[in-house]
Amino acid sequence: MSDDFNMSMRKFLKQVGVTSQQAIEKAMREGATAGQAVPVRAVITIPELGMTHEVTGTITAPQEEQD
């Protein structure tokens, strides 16, 4: 694949990773209890190519810190 393709792919995936982490952290702070395991699903689609990719997993909220 071309360098332009690789660079655009990496730029997109970096944006997905950074913005998704920020959104998940915010949601977990606002809605999850300490230690709660929450199912998560990420979906990437390219409608023009008929492509859908889904990743599922679980994210566990951090435990409350002890003083």
Residue 33 to residues 19, 23, 36, 39, 57: CA-CA distances in angstroms?
A: 22, 17, 5, 14, 18
**Residues contacting residue 57 through CB under 8 Å, at least 6 positions apart:** 39, 40
pTM: 0.82
pLDDT tens string 17-60 = 999 999 999 999 999 999 999 999 999 999 999 999 999 999 99
